[in-house]
């Protein structure tokens, strides 16, 4: 009988630890959203933080009900901005198109910087 008592005690302990970390994650998510929101005044942010500090569970529920849709919209906007910045960076560092590479090589050939054999090698690499 003591085995089952210990098993359920261990199970309960793991559940409590999981619930505690879930509460912490939700608190950090809400506080992060509060401070990223440009439309909310500083006084309202301070009031939300005070309520989150003293009545965390109830405040989290009220915040998610009252401002959950805006929280999602702000998160999506931020993700879109990060994606656009990432795409712009990738386009900036990515190799040029094959026609641009051949045009650059042709300009080098015309200026005499490279020989016709080197031009053919560059053209062959680009077209493969």
Q: Can you say whether residue 114 is alpha, beta or left, with left for phi > 0 and alpha for psi between -120 and 50 degrees?
A: beta
Whole-number average pLDDT of the chain: 89
Please tell me the pTM assigned to this model: 0.62
Rounded CA-CA distance 7/75 in Å is 40
Closest CA to 71 of 21, 32, 23: 32
pLDDT tens sequence across 46-102: 999 999 999 999 999 999 999 989 999 999 999 999 999 998 888 777 767 788 888
Closest CA to 44 of 67, 24, 61: 67
Domain parsing of the chain, residue ranges: 2-67, 96-128
**What is the pLDDT, as a whole number, of residue 2?**
64
Q: Which of 96-100, 104-108, 118-122 has the lowest mean pLDDT?
A: 96-100
């Amino acid at each position: 009988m003591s085995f089952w008592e210990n098993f359920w005690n261990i199970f309960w302990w793991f559940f409590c630890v999981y619930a505690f970390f879930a509460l912490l994650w939700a608190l950090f998510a809400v506080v992060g959203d509060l401070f990223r929101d440009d439309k909310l005044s500083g006084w309202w942010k301070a009031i939300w933080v005070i309520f989150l500090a003293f009545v965390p569970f109830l405040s989290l529920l009220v915040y998610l009900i009252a401002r959950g849709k805006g929280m999602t919209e702000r998160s999506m906007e931020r993700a879109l901005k990060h994606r656009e910045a990432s795409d712009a960076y990738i386009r900036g560092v990515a190799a040029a198109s094959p026609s641009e590479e051949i045009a650059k090589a042709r300009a080098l050939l015309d200026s005499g910087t490279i020989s016709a054999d080197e031009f053919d090698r560059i053209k062959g690499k680009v077209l493969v």
